[in-house]
Amino acid sequence: MTHDPGPDLSGLTLAEKASLGSGADFWTTKAVGEVPSLVLTDGPHGVRRQAGATDHLGLSESLPATCFPPAVGLAQSWDPDLVGRVGAALGAEARALGVDVLLGPGINIKRDPRGGRNFEYFSEDPLLTGVLGGAWVRGLQGTGVGASLKHFAANNAEHDRMRSSSNVDPRTLREIYLRAFQKVVRTSAPWTVMCSYNRINGVYASEDHWLLTTVLRQEWGFDGVVVSDWGAVQDRPAAVAAGLDLEMPGDGGASDARLVAAVEGGACPAEDVDTAASRVAALAAKARGSGGGRAADSARTLGVGAHDVEAHHALAREVAARCVVLLRNEGALLPLAPGGSVAVIGGFARNPRYQGGGSSHVNPTRVDVPLEEIRALAGSGTVTFSPGYAAGEREADDAAGLREEAVSAAAAADTAVVFLGLAEHQESEGFDREHIELPAEQLDLLAAVVREQPRTVVVLSHGGVLRLAPVAGLAPAILDGALLGQAGGGAIADVLFGRVNPSGRLGETVPVRLQDTPAYLNFPGENSAVLYGEGLYVGYRWYDAREMEVAFPFGHGLSYTSFAYSDLELEQDAAGVTAHLTVTNTGDRAGREVVQFYVAKPDSAVSRAPRELKGFTDVTLEPGRSERVRVLLSREDLAYWEVRADRWVVEGGEYVVSAGASSRDLRATAAIGVEGDAPRLPVTLDSTLGEVMADPRAAAVLAETLAPPASADGSSTALGVDMVRMMASIPIRRLASFGPVGLAELEELVARVNAGD
């Protein structure tokens, strides 16, 4: 966000400046002096604009808007350009509905598959999340509507979310949970960042000066507005001092009065209130300059005429089709040929599950029904429907009857298409799931159908990862739709009949069982605290490091054609390592391939995953055609967080780059030497001999006084051990107890090392 000082606030009183920093009601800010009020409302996969006056909970009916695929589905596109088009469409609808800031995107990392809000987040990987989140922000803000990057930070569970402390070590916090935020802030300049409810290492995010000021503003250069999640502020004066600018929603002015009293009592600096007010004023000026703000009276009529509803629905269908992942396709069962008979089974085919529950729930402009869309593309073929399972709504004997009916229909058809998944009440914002199982009645149905009809296709609808081993053991073909938005029904039909060649890829690993997951023993926490005990090893990093079997790996997705990779070449410059690769369509139909680049540092001096995603691209090719792709693996993304220096560091040495179709399907590999950074780590009396001797300059200084003991034959072994290795772990301070060097002399040597003598 390019800083605009906005209206002159010098004539405002302290009370008026304080009032700029809190809501007028649930969705709007206050108009004060020359500063117009703003409308903020929920996204991120659709505009949830309340009709009429806002209620005190913001839960009344919302106006119709296009429901695009939620982030769980959108991430499976691995397509930043497409995500940017979704952002632009959302911006057009927000403008038409008089919205100045759309609350999204949600870019928290999916730490555990049970997370209740995982449907609203992109991925388990910070690079994929940051690239797609940045594209969404650029698309939206290009229309003059502000984004609100959320939830900052380490908001990875719904359990006790308003007070629980996410206890995470500094390196993990930087490399996994803050990295996507950093990328989006630096590449896309969101107008606002929303702080989360939770505490981070004991400090509420809304009151965390290190998070909101030191990191976000001073390190990353953010100059927009920090807004609270709705109801996340516990202590307004402390929050303003930490760097919070806008508390939402409004509380009738009570928090404004507390802030004024804190300033007058000396508990909060007046300049902090001035700064927050100026940022809110600058945001309002930016929105008004973009055609937004409360001054845009025509938009307040809440008409939807400023965008093409049908065009946006068509875009939603295009996007949803790109988000479908073909998990399995044994015997090339898919695509289906029009004209055959199809038994469609499962309630989700008639009443689709296409979005998550909670604050992001959108009132769609229309909904494509999968059953109807399949019938529309089946040509002269016969399409029958059977509910198949009761989903807990009927007695068990009725469920048995439904299953029998479905099995008979499947046996009589050429192919069965079975829709399975989770209902809205089984996953939502506000609570975490207790398991990752499909309902037992659905698995029983599938087993019965496959026994009678080997040509069975499963279509999945869900917001969180499911245990799919039972499904993969039964069905020869599986389409994972996650949540696909209002046009998902048409998209599924397009993929089933080959009008669209699937190219979606998983944004998270599907484990064999819940007990295999990284945070299994530390989720969701207890006593208002959760230990991030798995550290850096989140998602595929964990499974790969432990060489564990998975049901489907991160990045996995099949196609109706095939691709070959060749001639991987690497080159290096100041920006990083650029990978060049030839991709060839070796199949018989046009298709899109998502090429993923994973980087390893086998001899690293620090703990690392076996490989990490550091770049990706896509290419669409006709049969037999080849294209050379080029991807920058940025130096910034190659760095790790060096906790001793409190900074990012690129470790020098050989890096291995692999190009693949998933984290477990690596098809071309090359190595390159990378020049590393040379951070000077301060030496203290608690530094070990090994740490000091690893620094040539420090080693030279200390070697004048300290030399490893040698045996009579000149070796460094004594007492049957390698003395150099044994002494490497001894802190310098302890040498005063073991030899002729005193503590004062050691202090002098440490001072010389740090001074550069």
Amino acid, res. 688: T
- Sort residue 293 into left (φ over 0), alpha (ψ -120 to 50) or beta: left
| Residues 227/150, Cβ–Cβ less than 8 Å | no
Distance of CA 65 to the CA centre of its chain: 24
Q: Which residues contact 351 (CB under 8 A, 6 or more apart)?
A: 369
Q: If you ran DSSP here, which 8-state letter would residue 595 be given?
A: E
| Residues 677/684, Cβ–Cβ less than 8 Å | no
How far is the C-alpha of 19 from the C-alpha of 13, rounded, in Å?
10
How far is the C-alpha of 133 from the C-alpha of 86, rounded, in Å?
11
How far is the C-alpha of 194 from the C-alpha of 205, rounded, in Å?
10
Q: What are phi and psi of 633, to 5 degrees?
A: -100, 95
Q: What are phi and psi of 585, to 5 degrees?
A: -80, 110
* Residues counted in the chain: 757
The strand pair at 342-345 and 383-386 is best described as parallel
- Of 79, 160, 229, 432, the catalytic one is 229
Q: What is the DSSP string of 219-247?
A: IT---SEEEE-TT--S-HHHHHHHT--BB
Q: If you ran DSSP here, which 8-state letter would residue 603 be given?
A: T
The strand pair at 225-228 and 456-461 is best described as unpaired
How far is the C-alpha of 5 from the C-alpha of 280, rounded, in Å?
10
Extended strands (E) in 500-590: 510-511, 529-531, 550-552, 563-573, 576-585
Q: Which burial class, exposed, middle or buried, applies to 86 when counting CB atoms under 10 A from its CB (0-12, 13-18, 19+)?
A: buried
How far is the C-alpha of 592 from the C-alpha of 505, rounded, in Å?
11
Helix (H) or strand (E) holding 17: helix 14-19
- Sort residue 509 into left (φ over 0), alpha (ψ -120 to 50) or beta: beta
**Does residue 229 have an active-site annotation?**
yes
> CA torsion 622→627→632→633, rounded to 10°?
80
Which residues are annotated as catalytic? 229
